[in-house]
Amino acid sequence: MNLAVYKIDGTLSGKEVVLDDAIFGIEPNDHAIYLDVKQYLANQRQGTHKSKERWEIAHSTKKLIRQKGSGGARHGSLKANIYVGGGRVFGPQPRDYRFKLNKKLKQLARYSALSYKAKDEAIVLVEPFVMEAPKTKEFIKILENLKSYGRKTLVVLPENSNNIYLSSRNLPEVSVITVDEINTYAIMNSNKLVLVDGVQEILASRRK
């Protein structure tokens, strides 16, 4: 697949890049994408949810009514779950939601997600650029020139650029990551993928 490289002013640079079909042109595997996204979201969970069980409730341990002869049900404590303020039965407890996936499966999922974006013509290649200072308006102008502003956009850099990251931080629909941080969830969660020229070469070199 051939893609033209744009300048940050939205004009063509005259350069054309051939994307690796082994990364951007495979037959997508939906189940691999599902598993990788599920793992990513599971890993984000803190797992600190907690409700108090009967033994953790601070109530009097005095028996409410006598065991027999009252005509009602037996009750031994206000800590029982049937009382307001009592313990919760089978409530949530702290746990770790993380689970492992095979590296090759995760790679297949990433390549499948990239192939979907390439198939939908949702990938834009832009020349490497730098920002002298964090300027959100300037960054918005770049995205507008690339026709990527106003929708969920993922910008992938070959290496970390603090000024570019800070310029995008206040934009809720824009995410800036490096090629080392690229993941299936981030790709699938975006409508437009803006790759800085050179990212595709790094991805191709890591496939071998």
Q: Are 186 and 166 in contact (CB under 8 A)?
A: no
* pLDDT of 150: 87
Q: Point out which residues pair with 126 in neighbouring strands.
A: 6, 196
- Rounded mean pLDDT of 169-174? 94
Q: Residue 44 and residue 96: Cα distance in Å, rounded?
A: 10
Q: Measure the CA–CA gap between 36 and 195, rounded to whole angstroms.
A: 21
- pLDDT at residue 18 tops 70: yes
Task: Please report the pLDDT score of residue 8 as a whole number.
Answer: 93
CA distance 101 to 35: 8
pLDDT of residue 61: 83
Q: Give the right CATH number for 2-45+101-207 from 3.40.1370.10, 3.40.50.20, 3.40.190.290, 3.20.20.370.
A: 3.40.1370.10
Amino acid identity of residue 148, one-letter, is: S
Q: pLDDT-derived band of residue 208, with 50, 70 and 90 as boundaries? A: low
pTM of the model: 0.84
CB 165 within 8 Å of CB 194: no
Provide CATH 3.40.1370.10 ranges for the chain: 2-45+101-207
Take residue 2 and report the two structure tokens written for it.
Answer: 């051939």
Percent of the chain with pLDDT over 70: 100
Q: For residue 187, what are the contacts with CB-CB under 8 A and spacing of at least 6? A: 110, 113, 114, 117, 154, 193
pLDDT digits (tens, 9 = 90+) for 79-121: 999 999 999 999 999 999 999 999 999 999 999 999 999 999 9
Tens digit of each residue's pLDDT (9 = 90 or more) over 31-77: 999 999 999 999 999 999 999 999 999 988 889 899 999 999 999 89
pLDDT at 44: 95
